[in-house]
């Protein structure tokens, strides 16, 4: 559930810019953090995760593919970044059956596309990121930091 005004709002004017914001976030990730990504088809969620994987290190954009069918991708780096896509999941129970609980660890971060489809499984303490198409190549990015890990991650992103 979303409450309160976003902690941070940005606008990007190209896919590259969204990737760069994601890269900043990837550099700022803290262990144990869950990032709930929400946005319509083609909003730019995977583009954002590409940046996160790059910022987390030891990965380039080519290693990031949409986990629509694989359901979970894993990218090594400073932290292990798990990338999930809930688009085809029936709901929170199916997410847990994939081992979602075990992915959340001090040396990993977990990013979930279509997090609104499995909202019941997403921890209250998380970084919520919404991406909205404003124009053909313009996207609005809104961030809500819930909990100290998300707050410190977003704080680090803002200071980059
Ligand atoms: N400012 C922008 N930020 C991100 N993507 C953009 C932007 N402008 C144009 N695009 C284009 O929008 C598309 C975003 O695709 P992407 O796969 O990242 O979306 P998605 O939200 O993951 O979609 P899906 O719901 O299918 O998983 C790409 O083709 C990208 O080039
Ligand atoms: Mg995607």
Residue 69: CB atoms within 10 Å: 9
- Taking CA atoms only, the protein residue closest to ligand 1 atom 25 is 41
- Taking CA atoms only, the protein residue closest to ligand 1 atom 6 is 15
**What residues are neighbours of ligand 2 (ion), with CB under 5 Å?**
45-46, 66, 113
Percent of the chain with pLDDT over 90: 87
Please list, in sequence order, all residues whose beta carbon lies within 8 angstroms of the beta carbon of residue 140, skipping any fewer than 6 positions away.
Answer: 9, 10, 11, 130, 131, 132, 134
- Taking CA atoms only, the protein residue closest to ligand 1 atom 1 is 14
DSSP for 80-110 reads EEEEEE-TT--SHHHHHHTTHHHH--TTEEE
Ligand 1 pocket, mutate which of 47, 49, 54 (most atoms under 8 A from CB)? 47
Residue 43 has pLDDT above 90, yes or no: yes
Take residue 93 and report the two structure tokens written for it. 């129970």
Q: Ligand 1 within 6 A of 16 CB?
A: no
Residue 28 has pLDDT above 80, yes or no: yes
Comparing 30 with 4, which gets the higher pLDDT? 30
What pTM, to 2 d.p., does this model score? 0.96
Q: Which ligand is nearest to the CA of 10?
A: 1
Residue 58: CB atoms within 10 Å: 12
Q: Please report the pLDDT score of residue 71 as a whole number.
A: 85
Question: For residue range 59-108, what is the model confidence (pLDDT) as tens digits?
Answer: 887 888 888 777 899 999 999 999 999 999 999 999 999 999 999 999 99
CATH topology of domain 11-158: Rossmann fold (3.40.50)
What is the torsional sign of CA 42, 144, 51, 76?
negative
Return mean pLDDT, the chain: 95
The domain locations on the chain are 11-158
Residue 1 has pLDDT above 90, yes or no: no
Pairing status of strand 108-113 against strand 80-85: parallel
Take residue 67 and report the two structure tokens written for it. 């986990």
């Amino acid at each position: 559930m979303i409450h309160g005004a976003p902690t941070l709002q940005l606008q990007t004017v190209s896919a590259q810019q969204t990737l760069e914001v994601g890269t900043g976030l990837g550099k700022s990730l803290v262990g144990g953090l869950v990032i709930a990504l929400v946005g319509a088809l083609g909003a730019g969620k995977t583009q954002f995760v590409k940046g996160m994987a790059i910022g987390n290190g030891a990965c380039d954009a080519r290693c990031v593919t949409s986990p629509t069918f694989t359901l979970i991708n894993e990218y090594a780096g400073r932290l292990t970044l798990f990338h999930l896509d809930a688009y085809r999941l029936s709901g929170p129970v199916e997410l847990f059956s994939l081992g979602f609980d075990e992915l959340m660890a001090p040396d990993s971060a977990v990013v979930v596309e279509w997090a609104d489809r499995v909202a019941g499984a997403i921890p209250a303490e998380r970084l919520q990121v919404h991406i909205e198409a404003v124009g053909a190549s313009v996207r609005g990015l809104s961030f809500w930091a819930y909990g100290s890990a998300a707050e410190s991650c977003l704080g680090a992103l803002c200071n980059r």
